[in-house]
Amino acid sequence: MLVTRILETRLLTYILIMHACSQRELYRTVTKIPGHLAGVMDQETFEKARLYNLDKSNFGFWVGIWGEIEHSVRNIILRLQFCFD
């Protein structure tokens, strides 16, 4: 029960932080180049950068979740080890 609670709390916290701090929604919704960037880059370059950042954001999200799971499992194993010694 304690193990499940620890995992749920860590993952929920991570997901909420990632959702709140994420630029992912902007990467999805802004498809046309903003006016102040029109003189700096063209639409094709903007689209490539947008898709790259969207992929990078998604990859970072899953890497972070994997790290949280790995860290939680390590903590649980170490705490259980101390309980049975």
| pLDDT for res 50 | 92
Considering the chain, what is the average pLDDT of its residues? 82
- % residues pLDDT > 70 (the chain): 87
The band of 85, judged by pLDDT with boundaries at 50, 70 and 90, is: low
Helix (H) or strand (E) holding 15: helix 2-21
CA distance 41 to 26: 18
Angle, in degrees to the nearest 10, between helices 43-84 and 2-21 = 160
Only one residue has tokens 């999200």, namely 61
Q: Give the domain extent around 72.
A: 2-84
Residue (of 78, 68, 84) closest to 7 by Cα position: 68
Number of domains in the chain: 1
| Helix/strand/coil for 39 | coil
